Amino acid sequence: MAHDYHQGAANYNPYQLFHDGCAECKLNAESMYPFSKIKDMRQAWHRACRFEQGRLEPEEAVSNVEVRVLRILWSLMVRLEREGLSLGLYPGDISGVMYPIGRAHTPGNKRII
């Protein structure tokens, strides 16, 4: 499947993660792994936060196909907030202070992974 030319579409918006009217964007957004096709995860993270808080500017209009992805990201943010990560803070910005994968420990310093 060829990816449609977004910039030529009447409803094109460069801020959108996935674009309405593009069959491949729709397929990617509805897939089990929509985040694997996002080029800038930090931008997507902050877009999802602003979307759910109603803080997107008018020129940042949300496409119908990206709404599901933005809501999944928001639900992850809310869950991570319960674990101590400030709402809206992108995990990649603090990755140097997090445990490496496979080395997480419980408070008693027992390996859990």
Domain locations along the chain: 6-113
Tokens for 29, please give them. 């957004």
Per-residue pLDDT of the chain (113 residues; tens, 9 = 90+): 556 667 777 778 889 999 888 888 899 999 999 999 999 999 999 999 999 999 999 999 999 999 999 999 999 999 999 988 898 899 888 866 555 555 455 555 544 44
DSSP state of 112: -
3-state secondary structure of 60: helix
Q: For the whole prediction, is pTM greater than 0.85?
A: no
CA dist., res. 65 & res. 36, Å (int): 15
Contact 26, 65 (CB under 8 A): yes
CA distance 54 to 70: 12
Token representation of residue 31? 């897939």
